[in-house]
Amino acid sequence: MAVQTLYQQALKFAAERHGEQKIPGSSIPYVAHLSNVCMEILFAAAQTAGFNLALALQVALLHDVLEDTNATDAELAEQFGAAVACGVRALTKNSASPQAEKMRDALQRIKQQPKEVWAVKLADRIANLQPPPAQWTKEKIGQYRQEAQTIYEHLKDGNAYLATRLKDAIEKYPPKEREWLAPNNVESPLPAPLERGRG
């Protein structure tokens, strides 16, 4: 099946399950977050040899359905296959773990997955390092930045392109809304596509 068709099926499933959910602290529909994660994955795929784009996009689109909706492991396995279901499961925080353990536990489980799953976690955090909601305290912002640094340190070998993107986003975090939106803030043109069939 074409990657585009797999994408459409996963997006439809995710959009239906997330329903009316919004990006926390905003009025923006949750699927906008999923779109941002997929955008990072598409750029990374163009820069990464041997990248399984079908797996990465499906896991990206579905990465929060087990944590935030009524979707089940069995449904994912049946509709999208075992590899996608396992990837999404690894990206789902284990609610039984104590708070401090959750991140470490999740990172360990992600590291047992293919590199495409590591890439989704990197892409997810890049997408989340936008200007924080106005009500966030300095302490909360600092914690979020530290958490991003922990993700970077554990998963940077998963995808070189996304690791660089995340490192850069951490250094600039929190970006100011005004600077972030400035039209002259475009840093570089699109990256050149990977030259295939060489080296």
Closest CB to Ni ion among residues 63, 80: 63
Contact at 8 Å (CB) between 11 and 62?
no
Q: Residues 6, 8, 9, CA angle at the centre, nearest 5°?
A: 65
Closest CB to Ni ion among residues 86, 192: 86
For residues 185 and 195, give the distance between their C-alpha atoms in angstroms, rounded to a whole number.
28
- In the complex, the smallest distance separating the C-beta of residue 67 from Ni ion, rounded to whole angstroms, is 9
Q: Which stretch binds Ni ion (CB under 5 A): 103-111, 122-130, 143-151, 166-174?
A: 122-130
| Tokens describing residue 186 | 């475009």
Closest CB to Ni ion among residues 85, 124: 124
Closest CB to Ni ion among residues 32, 181: 32
Q: Is 29 helix (H, G, I), strand (E, B) or coil?
A: strand
Q: In terms of Cα–Cα distance, which of 186, 149, 191, 193 is closest to 169?
A: 149
- In the complex, the smallest distance separating the C-beta of residue 184 from Ni ion, rounded to whole angstroms, is 29
For residues 195 and 1, give the distance between their C-alpha atoms in angstroms, rounded to a whole number.
25
For residues 139 and 44, give the distance between their C-alpha atoms in angstroms, rounded to a whole number.
32
Check residue 40 for interaction with Ni ion (CB under 5 A): no
Closest CB to Ni ion among residues 40, 124: 124
CA 70 from centre of chain: 20
Report how many residues bind Ni ion under the rule CB under 5 A.
1
Closest CB to Ni ion among residues 5, 146: 146
Q: In sequence order, what are the residues at sequence separation of 6 or more whose Cβ sits closer than 8 angstroms to the Cβ of residue 82?
A: none
Q: Which stretch binds Ni ion (CB under 5 A): 95-103, 110-118, 121-129, 157-165?
A: 121-129
Class of residue 45 by CB neighbours under 10 A (exposed 0-12, middle 13-18, buried 19+): buried
Q: Return the residue nearest Ni ion (CB atom).
A: 124
Pick the binder of Ni ion from 124, 125, 132, 170 (CB under 5 A): 124
Q: In sequence order, what are the residues at sequence separation of 6 or more whose Cβ sits closer than 8 angstroms to the Cβ of residue 139?
A: none
- In the complex, the smallest distance separating the C-beta of residue 145 from Ni ion, rounded to whole angstroms, is 17
Q: Which stretch binds Ni ion (CB under 5 A): 24-32, 117-125, 151-159, 169-177?
A: 117-125
Q: Which stretch binds Ni ion (CB under 5 A): 1-9, 124-132, 165-173, 187-195?
A: 124-132
Query: Footprint of Ni ion on this chain (CB under 5 A)?
Result: 124
